[in-house]
Amino acid sequence: MAEALKQFIALVVISLAIGGKWVGAQVHHVVGGDRGWDPSSDVGSWSSDRVFRVGDKIWFAYSVAQESIVELGSVEEYLSCDLSNPIRMYTEGLDKVALDGEGIRYFASGKPESCKNGLKLHVDVQPQPKKKEIQKVAVAAGPTSPSASTHLTAAVSSYVVVFLALLLC
């Protein structure tokens, strides 16, 4: 009886890890990729092909000695690099921002000259897709090269499955 229960639990865990990990999964985006938030990184190009969804996290990695980040409240402040009235300031060097709701958020370098040179990011946060939309996308999408965040999600899921399988044995 105990062996059958272990097998059932293992089957449920593996099924969830394989089949359920993509539905509502949050993605962690490191702004600027390998270079992070830096005047030499092309943040606009980095963000152009990304979809940001409710529940995702964005990470800003930068040198505290050289940069800081402000979140601005309007498109006008963002376009003109008016940093005088930020909603939030990020100064830790590795800052996580949770994308908790739909809408556009505006981030800029805390240094006016860096902002005017393009070190700024607007994030259009989309709702999580419904299950039917996910299935349509999965059927219609062709082969693509996986992103770093996909590798991270798959790697973490694999470790969880292995860990739980070891616990059950």
Identify the three-state secondary structure at position 37.
coil
Q: Measured between alpha carbons, how far is 91 from 29 in angstroms, rounded to an integer?
A: 18
Q: Is there a single domain that holds both residue 20 and residue 31?
A: no
What's the domain range around 13?
1-24+129-169
pLDDT tens by residue, 49-85:
899 999 999 999 999 999 999 999 999 999 999 999 9
Residue 157 near residue 21 (C-beta atoms within 8 A) = yes
pTM of the shown model: 0.65
Q: Is there a single domain that holds both residue 117 and residue 35?
A: yes
Q: Is there a single domain that holds both residue 50 and residue 87?
A: yes
Q: Measured between alpha carbons, how far is 165 from 6 in angstroms, rounded to an integer?
A: 9
Which residues, in sequence order, are CB contacts of 106 under 8 Å at separation 6+? 71, 72, 73, 74, 75, 77, 78, 120, 121, 122, 123
Q: Is there a single domain that holds both residue 3 and residue 40?
A: no
User: Average pLDDT of the chain?
Assistant: 76
Which residues, in sequence order, are CB contacts of 44 under 8 Å at separation 6+? 118, 121
Q: Is there a single domain that holds both residue 68 and residue 101?
A: yes
pLDDT tens by residue, 23-36:
457 899 999 999 99
Give residue 130's pLDDT: 82
Q: Is there a single domain that holds both residue 48 and residue 118?
A: yes
